Structure 1
Amino acid sequence: MAEDRLDTGLLTGITVGFYFQTLTVLNPFHTPEVAALQDTDLAGPLVFCLAFGGFLLLSGKVHFSYIYGIGVLGCLSMWALLSLMSAQGVTIGTVVTVLGYCLLPMVGLSGVNVILSLQGYVGIVLTSVAILWCSLSASKLFVTALAMDHQQPLVLYPCALLYGVFALITIF
């Protein structure tokens, strides 16, 4: 009986964390709470990576290994960069969680790519908006979680480079 309550509580905690992190990414101009950002949830980023790869597969591109390879390299690079920039330490779990959840607009872009081609003016605009949205959300979360006041543009640039690579995978 106690195990059933524990499983339900764990599931509810994961669902609430997934919901909170997703809403935080969808509204990059809202300042999130610092305590909630320290929660490392790796299920959400895995779901978003699988959805990203699934949409790319529906558009005729098999890039699962590229997604995971670039994702791991990007997470390790961002972890090293943020460890050097912040006064307090950052865990690799926090970096993976933030970068994975902020992949959500790129998942939407790959979903649009199933319906229409992104190799025109509309594609350039949609891709630019998705890269800006992803990188703005990620940099806002990192700056808030690590108390890095007035350093958002410094964190925004490498995030934009990382999500730009994911956008190139989506377009081509």
Structure 2
Amino acid sequence: MDDRYNYPPNYPPRNDLIAEDFVTIQTPMDNQENMSPYIYNPTPSQYNPYYVPTPTPMVPSPSPSSVFSPATPTGDINTDPFYSSDGIDDPFAGEPPLLEELGINFDQIMQKTLAVIIPFKKTEQSILHESDLTGPLVFCFAFGMFLLLSGKLHFSYIYGIGIVGCLSVYFLLNLMSPGATSITLICTVSVLGYSLLPMVVLSGLSVIFNLSTGVIGKFFAITAVLWCALSASKLFVTALALQRQQPLIAYPCALLYGVFALLTVF
């Protein structure tokens, strides 16, 4: 047999060596059934030059698929790295909803729309001071689109008259209101925009019927103007806590909506 399997080599005997300093190694030549590879460290010990370490089995390296495969959440609270019970690890936990950041509140839109549809319904004063422009923009765009379907391109007139009318009503309301209360320009635009809803209905009727001829068209136009003026004046009186001044506020509002009615009828 080859000399490389004879451990330890034939050196002169030493009396300071004990039996634990030698390790019997079973080589692949001695046992053909166990052919697992071994890694040997040929560096001798600093205390015993004839010491041979215990063979260590070779550990296979992980496959590339297991290294680069993403971890999947297990759903366990203790072991799942994606689970967060208190939301501290979530960077978007404290962020408000997207609709709230955009200033869109469907509850307020519904309440103000119902306040315009039913002018005699009691409205809370708190919702009137909210700067909600979603409904007015939608109603103005719908008003212009109905006029466009009836063959009238009046988008510039709608926005121009609307801006002048909102500024005029804003200054008038601040002059009429007591010193302790006031109204903002955005609140004025919001109330006048929501009160445009009956005029939107009138423009929708103009697509189907010809309102410029006959008594019925003029009746619908006058009804829409009075409806818009009544709704706007009621909301302004509620927001500013003005008593017995609703006719004074309804008159300039009726003039503003009368111009929109003229754009719709003629």
Aligned partner of 2:109: which letter? F
Aligned partners of 1:46 and 1:12: how far apart in 2?
A: 13
1:70-85 aligned within 5 A: 70-85=161-176
Aligned to 2:197: 104
Checking the alignment, whether the CA contact within 8 Å between 2:103 and 2:132 is kept in structure 1 is: no
Aligned to 1:129: 223
1:9 to 1:76, Cα distance in 2 relative to 1, 3 A: closer
- Secondary structure class of the residue paired with 1:83: helix
1:90 to 1:3, Cα distance in 2 relative to 1, 3 A: same
Aligned to 1:150: 244
Aligned partners of 2:174 and 2:221: how far apart in 1?
A: 29
Q: Does 1:44 align with 2:135?
A: yes
Aligned to 1:69: 160
1:13 to 1:65, Cα distance in 2 relative to 1, 3 A: closer
- Secondary structure class of the residue paired with 2:98: helix
Aligned to 2:119: 28
Give per-residue Cα distances to partners, 1:131-164, cap 9 Å, x unaligned.
Answer: 0100000000000100111100000100000000
Question: How far did residue 2 of structure 1 move?
Answer: 2.8
Give per-residue Cα distances to partners, 1:72-112, cap 9 Å, x unaligned.
Answer: 00000000000100011110011000000000000000000
Aligned to 1:59: 150
Aligned partners of 2:158 and 2:252: how far apart in 1?
A: 17
Give per-residue Cα distances to partners, 1:25-46, cap 9 Å, x unaligned.
Answer: 0000112111111111011101
Give the greater-gyration-radius structure (CA). Answer: 2
Aligned partner of 2:132: which letter? D
Question: How far did residue 20 of structure 1 move?
Answer: 1.0
Q: Give structure 1 stretches of 5+ with no counterpart.
A: none
Return the structure number with greater helix share.
Answer: 1
Checking the alignment, whether the CA contact within 8 Å between 2:147 and 2:154 is kept in structure 1 is: yes
1:45 to 1:12, Cα distance in 2 relative to 1, 3 A: closer
1:151-166 aligned within 5 A: 151-166=245-260
- Secondary structure class of the residue paired with 2:105: helix
Q: Which consecutive aligned stretches of 4+ in structure 1 deviate over 4 angstroms post-superposition?
A: 8-13
Aligned partner of 1:95: which letter? T
Aligned partner of 1:50: which letter? F
Aligned partner of 1:127: which letter? A
- Secondary structure class of the residue paired with 2:115: helix
Aligned partner of 2:209: which letter? L
Identity %: 57
What is the aligned-residue RMSD (CA, Å)? 1.6
Aligned to 2:78: none
Aligned partners of 2:94 and 2:147: how far apart in 1?
A: 39
1:48 to 1:8, Cα distance in 2 relative to 1, 3 A: closer
Aligned partner of 2:159: which letter? Y
Q: Does 1:19 align with 2:110?
A: yes
Q: Give structure 2 stretches of 5+ with no counterpart.
A: 1-91
